[in-house]
Amino acid sequence: MDSRLLHDLTKLLGPRAVLHEPEDLLLYEYDGSVEVARPECVVFPRATADVVEIVRLANRHKVPLVGRGTGTGLSGGAIARHGGIIISFSRMKRIVEIDAENQRATVQPGVVNADLSVAVEHLGLHFAPDPSSQKACTIGGNVSENSGGPHTLAYGVTTNHVLSLEVVLPNGELMRLGSAALDPPGYDLTGLFVGSEGTFGLVTEITVKLTRVPEAVKTLLAVFDSVDDATETVAEITARGITPAACEMLDGWTIRAVEDYVHAGFPLDCAAILLIEVDGLREVAEAEAKDVADVCGLHHAREVRVARDARERDLLWKGRKNAFGAAGRFAPSYYTQDGVIPRTKLPATLRRIGEISKKYGLQIGNVFHAGDGNLHPIILFDERNEQQFRDTIRAGDEIIEFCIQMGGSITGEHGVGMEKDRLMTLLFSEADLALMRRVRDVFNPEGLLNPGKILPTSKGCGEIYVRPRPAAAVPSA
């Protein structure tokens, strides 16, 4: 990094807010994906004014900038693909205002998702988007990726809960998008920025909707001896006009991995479970829980268990939300995919994932948002083994290609990042992609903000390719 730029950043933020030594930068070359790229510098602003000045300095020196929350993303979105400066928002973690009467809150981007719900719990409110990483991920990162979670089936993804944004554009200009009003006039620039993966601007403040905690919640655990029975249950629940707050599925291998780790009370000898939650007014929740249990019974569920109290409900959800960590106990590394398919295609897609698992000799566990067809296959591998790493990437790409064949998409909530940019050509024409580039260039004309993300860098037909293995990998014995 240019010594003058480093000097200016240190003068602006102080030496404890600027990292540039190689051993410090190691922690920032990863996120939750299998991608690796090292920045030249990491800085820690505490206020919007700091971000404005950092952006102006980077512009002056023509250095790339990448925003980062806590690095829990799964598509390489917070990795400095082309070097430059990572702006870590971990010290901008203040809840600026809670407006309980109007059910909204304003926060800095480094506020951890679950912490906001804890802060408003005593008011009978919560922040509805709940990614599995909600105890670690930040609201700023959720905005960048338009994150989802188990309860998006009824409550929607992050964009459905964002009212306005304060953003710093790549030229250092400060803007306020949207408003506290629920339906402001003009172009929906807030909606445009949510999910833009940090390629349009750096979010420095967010006003979000808060949701009333429902009067009653019923959490059901349905146990199946057949994966097809479980997936057909999901399709019929929605066909009957029932919209659960959440409808999650775990296959047999994942169940056993989770139970050994969390002891959530999952049976060890079944093929699949559904974790289904309904909420609302007490009478409505009780009636829907009964209807859901009836549908499960019609599709041969051998047991349908209703959580008896909040403690049992929390334990069941602890099992679901710790599934990725549980799988990580069985291999040095794992690769999580994020394909989307129509619910009716679940049986065929899970069978295809099983075939891919056998083809490459890789263990693949399945835990996913069954209600909206958002799959999260977990591929276990050892990245120190070059062949396993290459096969894992191939397996992941084949799963995503099959999702597209089934009428689905390459991502539901994890973003495109640098993981799937080349696969965008499977979904969009060159004219579509050219239009997206023009929109990006309006806000980010120099391409300095999170370069190499979302859009393919060259024309292509979406063929599967294998990335170079991470620098940390070593040849297999």
For helices 282-298 and 227-239, the axis angle rounded to 10 degrees is 140
Residue 364 CB burial class (10 angstroms; 0-12, 13-18, ≥19): buried
If you average pLDDT over residues 117-136, what whole number do you get? Answer: 96
Q: What is the pLDDT of residue 260?
A: 94
459 pLDDT more than 80:
no
Measure CA 371 to chain center.
17
Work out the number of other CB atoms within 10 angstroms of the CB of residue 38: 15
DSSP 3-state of 17: helix
Work out the number of other CB atoms within 10 angstroms of the CB of residue 124: 13
- Residue 158 half-sphere exposure toward CB, CA atoms < 13 A: 32
Work out the number of other CB atoms within 10 angstroms of the CB of residue 283: 10
What's at 164, amino acid-wise?
S
276 pLDDT more than 70:
yes
What does the alpha-carbon distance between residue 278 and residue 188 come to, in Å, rounded to a whole number? Answer: 31
Interval 54-105: pLDDT, tens: 999 999 999 999 999 999 999 999 999 999 999 999 999 999 999 999 999 9
Tokens of 37: 């790229």
Domains of the chain by range and CATH? 3-88 (3.30.43.10), 95-212 (3.30.465.10), 216-259+271-317 (3.30.70.2190), 331-443 (3.30.70.2740)
- Is-contact 370 343, C-beta < 8 A? yes
Backbone angles phi, psi at 28, to 5 degrees: -110, 10
What does the alpha-carbon distance between residue 247 and residue 130 come to, in Å, rounded to a whole number? Answer: 13
- Average pLDDT for the chain: 94
- Is-contact 395 281, C-beta < 8 A? no
Question: Closest Cα partner for 252 from 279, 228, 236, 287?
Answer: 228
Q: What is the pLDDT of residue 182?
A: 79
Q: What is the pLDDT of residue 449?
A: 97
Which ranges of 146-220 does DSSP label H, i.e. alpha helix? 152-155, 189-193
Q: What is the pLDDT of residue 460?
A: 43
Interval 340-361: pLDDT, tens: 999 999 999 999 999 999 999 9
Sheet of 174-178: strand order equals 95-99, 104-107, 202-209, 162-168, 174-178
Q: What is the pLDDT of residue 475?
A: 36
474 pLDDT more than 50:
no
DSSP 3-state of 116: helix
If you average pLDDT over residues 121-128, what whole number do you get? Answer: 98
Tokens of 168: 């710093």
Q: What is the pLDDT of residue 458?
A: 62
476 pLDDT more than 70:
no
Q: What is the pLDDT of residue 184?
A: 84
Q: How confident is the model at residue 467 (pLDDT cuts 50, 70, 90)?
A: low
465 pLDDT more than 80:
no
If you average pLDDT over residues 198-208, what whole number do you get? Answer: 98
CA 145-203-195 angle, to 5 degrees, is 20
